[in-house]
Chain A
Amino acid sequence: MAEMSANANVQIDASAPAPIHVRINGVTYTAQEGTTILELCRREGIHIPTLCNHPDLTTKGICRICVVEVVGSRTLQAACATPISEGMEILTTSEKVRKSRRTILELLLANHYTDCTVCPKNLNCELQDLANEFGLTDLRWKERRERTVPQDFSSPVFVRDNNKCILCQRCVRACDDLQGVYAVANLFKGDRTIVGSAFNRPIADIVCINCGQCVAHCPTGALYEKRSVDDVWRAIDDPERVVVIQTAPAIRAALGEAFGYPPGTRVTGRMVAALKAMGFDHVFDTQFAADLTILEEAHELLDRLKRTLVGGEKGLLPMTTSCSPGWIKYQEHFFPELLPNVSTCKSPQQMFGAVLKTHWAKSMGISAQRVVSVSAMPCTAKKFEAMRPEMSSHGLADVDHVLTTRELAGMIKQAGIDLKEMPEASFDDPLGRSTGAATIFGVTGGVMEAALRTAYEVITGREVPFEHLDIVPVRGMEGVRRASVRIEQARSPWAFLEGVELKLLITHGTANARQVMTSLREGTLDAHFIEIMTCPGGCLGGGGQPLPVTPEKRIARAAALYAEDAAHAQRKSHDNPAAQALYRDFLGEPNSHLAHELLHTRYVARGRY
């Protein structure tokens, strides 16, 4: 069998186009047709500087910093946009190339508001890195020293400072290619060209889902998140306040990157120790609430299945997940008619805040007014979610301040803490208890997997029929994935599900989700349950994660989360003892009246304009 497939491979190779031979700096290389000069150079370890190029995005070839000399060609060629051809002779460091790259960088800096030392992207800026790499000491055409265009502070979650924009269009392409929002584009032409919204309106006036992919893909300080760091320090400094932090699953798989750990290193224990050292009174885990979400959402799904299959109601299925606030806003703008399909469950962040300021505060004997609810999230949209008026309980916001992973890393550094020097510590009880099912909330497919582990067991009384509970078919990085699970031997209340093939769909990146929802709207989609994550890869690829963004880092972070899940003693949300206690002592049962009041929410149909 193995031999046969090997033969098949040989045949495929034989029918593939002949490899192409090129010379780079005098050395011959071979590669497949269609490979770009940049791809080949990257493969061979030949350094080519880039700015507008990004592995997540379509090729534009507009910054021109990657130009190389193709011998015989009148002009230099952009390595990112030029496919190799047979016999091509490429020079990557000829005089023409060096001079042109240098001039291009000087041009970019000449028009750049350089306040590097106080720039939010200081030491995290690709333009700054290039200036360093090129050893620039003088700028021939630097005239502009001050800001010449106003900054746009109108977004609830980020700031656009076009004085630092190099017009690489990475934000534009992130918004178009990955997210399908089309919020920004190049406006005007010539020297007046800027990136902006339709009719150059402030971003708050147009459709933006606050996902922060533009921010995460910006190579300079032109886009940065609005920061809550000072507010959180002020709360910590206030002795009257009880400052509680929850950290999302995707943080532990990425925070280490900001401290020199390789991508995919889990720093859960060190992070908890650092947070305690910084003065947070209680360090809890968003994953506790992720388990709650699963319990609520799995039961909501079962309820919708029952009402549809037994009661004959329409419009309840497929149910779509509700934990990714960027997508929620997307759907409110673009698919308001499908809002009834969205699970009414609040996201884990908001469920956590609601439990914190009600049951937990009461059980601790602390007035809810004194509690400052801080969350650390991989996400900028969470900042907006926390501000939504419906996200409050008894008049108090569930979550007061949202820090992105980048802000959290900055705070830890401000406190003089090197994560590498910290011991391992554990989350506090009881809201620090969680299961492996909650950990994988941070990766695309994770909510689906966690929900199935619980729902299947509720229906059949048996564990999901996958080895080690790993529901491999729902995992992966493809933009749209389908899977199905057949229900067999359903217990008596769920007998109507006997033999039903539960059809599942997982999508991430709202551009992909848009296609899924379009087919749903057109009635061509057959599914019972859809998981939608706003960002590529899910939360671990969130707009608030450490920079730079690469597909490899997302894969490494995903592996870290699956490893943490696999190592967990409890891997099913309904096994979370703290969650069980909460239902026993306070909420009653999933989808109870109280649970609905605290843990569920509603949505707003928004216009497009």
Chain B
Amino acid sequence: MARKIDVIFSEIEPGSALAVALGLGPEAVVERIKASHLRGRGGAGFPTGLKWEAARRAQGAERCFICNADEGEPGTFKDKKILESQSIKVIEGMLIGAYAIGASKGFIYLRGEYKYLVRSIQDRIAKLRDIAMAVSGRSYFLDIQIRLGSGAYVCGEETALIESLESRRGEPRNKPPFPTECGFMGGPTVVNNVETLSLVPHILLNGPEWLQQLGTTASAGSKLFSVSGDCRYPGIYEFEFGVTIRQLLEEVGAGTDTKAVQIGGASGYCASADDFDKPLCFEGIPTGGSIIVFNASRDMFRVLKNFVEFFQEESCGQCVPCREGCSRMLEGIQKFEEGRGSSRIINDLLELSETMSLASKCGFGQSVPNSFRTIVSKFRDEILSAGGGPWQR
């Protein structure tokens, strides 16, 4: 059984991990992160070490290291919590990463609503700068600037984030080239999530094998979950990867009438009772951390409609499958509410979903249909009967 643990919010001596990194040299730091099997905590799970290695090897003069703190997935609030108490660890993670890839510039792209954290993060940057100067003998320093997002969900996508940093509209770029090759201002760039970076100092201090002692074979380490919805104890929980939904539900005090759990936010997976024994990990149900619990009183049609409305508004509007697809999906769903729904509409929308997943330009559009597909497959009757449901009139 996966353990509830406390790594991310545990304190370490500021600068101690950086000192280890400086002792190892950049090449060895990349190797250590690779060997640790650390994967990105933002949701996609890309191996962090490979990302760093790609940026380190890429040609290009000015390299950039970015912390993605644009936490925007509905139902997630873990990065906020990390930055409230552990920002110094995140910054140290950035310093180590920047050292590893040879970056001379760093950004923290902070969600606009987290503006109240700017001061404290700046204080930590200054503090760590002094420490870094001391441990490196005044030879190592990274210029880190904080930039505030303006509320666009899509700016959590790394290339849209970079566009936004370059003071353009937050629209995802074509990949390839990947940011590690051609990112901020055309230079090799790494974008890592807050949670990912907070783990980096631990790996430096504890060695490459340490992370693999936690979690599953394919998902090393622990994960923060932001739990909300119908449960007695909503909040942030840290578990080893591989924790089952059922275990998590018990921990957070969800009732026996739990009907569905939305995992990974609006772009995630809707689990029904059949899924509750599945593990939360990259090889099971992956998640960036958002867990929303729905009990029997909740109407899955309204849950679905809420998600699609969110996407229709948050699509950057650039590519056709996502922009038009979201609108047509919402239109189709609204027909059920108006008592004009039919199986055919669902089937048409499922085909639309297929195209959105296959042909959208970025991960946003590709993941929009996840919630539609899973909710419709598990609660089809509830959707079909939406027009005459008991919650209306």
Kindly supply a per-residue 1/0 record for chain A positions 92-119, scoring 1 wherever the CB is within 8 Å of any chain B CB and 0 otherwise. Answer: 0000100110011001101100000000
Tell me which residues across on chain B come within 8 A of A61, comparing CB atoms. Answer: 174, 319, 361
Which applies to chain B's interface (DSSP): helix, strand, loop or mixed? Answer: helix
Contact between B313 and A83 (Cβ–Cβ < 8 Å)? Answer: no
CB-contacts of B305-339 with A (<8 A): 311-321, 323-328, 330-332
Contact between B317 and A64 (Cβ–Cβ < 8 Å)? Answer: no
Shortest Cβ-Cβ A-B pairs, 8 listed: A193-B317, A107-B324, A103-B355, A81-B174, A141-B328, A191-B327, A100-B359, A190-B313
A143 to B348, CA, bound (A): 14
The stretch among A181-189, A199-207, A221-229, A276-284 that forms the contact with chain B is A181-189
Contact between B318 and A67 (Cβ–Cβ < 8 Å)? Answer: no
Give the residue of A59, A143, A193 whose beta carbon is less than 8 angstroms from that of B331.
Answer: A143
7 more A-B residue pairs beyond the given contacts A65-B320, A186-B318, with a C-beta to C-beta distance below 8 A: A67-B358, A104-B359, A107-B328, A186-B317, A191-B315, A193-B316, A193-B323
Contact between A141 and B174 (Cβ–Cβ < 8 Å)? Answer: no
* B298 adjacent to chain A (CB < 8 Å): no
* A167 adjacent to chain B (CB < 8 Å): yes
Give the residue of B176, B324, B332, B348 whose beta carbon is less than 8 angstroms from that of A111.
Answer: B324
Tell me which residues across on chain A come within 8 A of B331, comparing CB atoms. Answer: 141, 143
* A76 adjacent to chain B (CB < 8 Å): yes
Contact between B366 and A75 (Cβ–Cβ < 8 Å)? Answer: yes
A111 to B311, CA, bound (A): 17
* A558 adjacent to chain B (CB < 8 Å): no
A81 to B176, CA, bound (A): 8
Contact between A63 and B319 (Cβ–Cβ < 8 Å)? Answer: yes
Nearest-Cβ distance from residue A76 to partner chain B, whole angstroms: 5
Contact between B314 and A189 (Cβ–Cβ < 8 Å)? Answer: yes
Q: Say whether, besides A141-B332, A190-B314, A190-B315, A167 and B323 are in contact (CB < 8 Å).
A: yes
Contact between A108 and B320 (Cβ–Cβ < 8 Å)? Answer: yes
Tell me which residues across on chain B come within 8 A of A81, comparing CB atoms. Answer: 174
Tell me which residues across on chain A come within 8 A of B326, comparing CB atoms. Answer: 190-191
Tell me which residues across on chain A come within 8 A of B361, comparing CB atoms. Answer: 61-62, 64, 78
A105: nearest residue on chain B (CB-CB)?
B320
* A140 adjacent to chain B (CB < 8 Å): yes
Pairs across A and B, CB under 8 Å, 18 listed? A61-B174, A62-B361, A63-B319, A64-B321, A65-B320, A100-B321, A100-B354, A100-B355, A104-B355, A107-B325, A141-B348, A167-B323, A186-B317, A189-B154, A189-B317, A191-B327, A193-B315, A193-B323
* B360 adjacent to chain A (CB < 8 Å): yes
Give the residue of B311, B320, B351 whose beta carbon is less than 8 angstroms from that of A166.
Answer: B320
Residue from B323, B348, B357 whose CB has the most chain A CB atoms within 10 Å: B323
* B376 adjacent to chain A (CB < 8 Å): no
A62 to B355, CA, bound (A): 14
Count of inter-chain pairs, beta carbons less than 8 A: 113
A107 to B366, CA, bound (A): 16
Contact between B324 and A189 (Cβ–Cβ < 8 Å)? Answer: no
Tell me which residues across on chain B come within 8 A of A191, comparing CB atoms. Answer: 312-313, 315, 317, 323, 326-327, 330
Contact between A64 and B319 (Cβ–Cβ < 8 Å)? Answer: yes
Contact between A103 and B323 (Cβ–Cβ < 8 Å)? Answer: no
A189 to B153, CA, bound (A): 11
Tell me which residues across on chain B come within 8 A of A99, comparing CB atoms. Answer: 351, 354-355
CB-contacts of A47-92 with B (<8 A): 59-65, 67, 75-76, 78, 81-83
Tell me which residues across on chain B come within 8 A of A103, comparing CB atoms. Answer: 321, 351-352, 354-355, 359
Nearest-Cβ distance from residue A139 to partner chain B, whole angstroms: 10
Report which A residues bind B (CB closer than 8 A).
Answer: 59-65, 67, 75-76, 78, 81-83, 96, 99-100, 103-104, 107-108, 110-111, 140-141, 143, 166-167, 185-186, 188-193
CB-contacts of B263-321 with A (<8 A): 311-321
B324: nearest residue on chain A (CB-CB)?
A107
* B232 adjacent to chain A (CB < 8 Å): no
Tell me which residues across on chain B come within 8 A of A65, comparing CB atoms. Answer: 320
A67 to B365, CA, bound (A): 15
Contact between B317 and A190 (Cβ–Cβ < 8 Å)? Answer: yes
Tell me which residues across on chain A come within 8 A of B313, comparing CB atoms. Answer: 189-191
A64: nearest residue on chain B (CB-CB)?
B359
Tell me which residues across on chain B come within 8 A of A75, comparing CB atoms. Answer: 357-360, 366
A438 to B200, CA, bound (A): 71
Residue from A59, A96, A103, A111 whose CB has the most chain B CB atoms within 10 Å: A103
* B169 adjacent to chain A (CB < 8 Å): yes
Q: Say whether, besides A64-B321, A78-B361, A189 and B316 are in contact (CB < 8 Å).
A: yes
Nearest-Cβ distance from residue A143 to partner chain B, whole angstroms: 6
Contact between B359 and A76 (Cβ–Cβ < 8 Å)? Answer: yes
Contact between A104 and B321 (Cβ–Cβ < 8 Å)? Answer: yes
Q: Say whether, besides A103-B355, A190-B314, A190-B326, A59 and B320 are in contact (CB < 8 Å).
A: no
Nearest-Cβ distance from residue B340 to partner chain A, whole angstroms: 12
Tell me which residues across on chain A come within 8 A of B366, comparing CB atoms. Answer: 75
A61 to B315, CA, bound (A): 16
A76 to B314, CA, bound (A): 22
Tell me which residues across on chain A come within 8 A of B328, comparing CB atoms. Answer: 107, 110, 141
* B142 adjacent to chain A (CB < 8 Å): no
* B152 adjacent to chain A (CB < 8 Å): yes
Contact between B359 and A186 (Cβ–Cβ < 8 Å)? Answer: no
Tell me which residues across on chain B come within 8 A of A143, comparing CB atoms. Answer: 331
Nearest-Cβ distance from residue A59 to partner chain B, whole angstroms: 7
A108 to B315, CA, bound (A): 16
Residue from B314, B319, B331, B358 whose CB has the most chain A CB atoms within 10 Å: B358
Give the residue of A64, A192, A193 whose beta carbon is less than 8 angstroms from that of B360.
Answer: A64
Nearest-Cβ distance from residue B48 to partner chain A, whole angstroms: 20
A468 to B208, CA, bound (A): 77
Tell me which residues across on chain A come within 8 A of B169, comparing CB atoms. Answer: 185-186
A141 to B332, CA, bound (A): 8
A363 to B348, CA, bound (A): 73
Residue from B154, B312, B324, B361 whose CB has the most chain A CB atoms within 10 Å: B324
Contact between B320 and A190 (Cβ–Cβ < 8 Å)? Answer: no
A96 to B324, CA, bound (A): 19
Nearest-Cβ distance from residue A450 to partner chain B, whole angstroms: 42
Tell me which residues across on chain A come within 8 A of B348, comparing CB atoms. Answer: 140-141
A104 to B313, CA, bound (A): 19
Contact between B320 and A63 (Cβ–Cβ < 8 Å)? Answer: yes
Nearest-Cβ distance from residue B57 to partner chain A, whole angstroms: 17
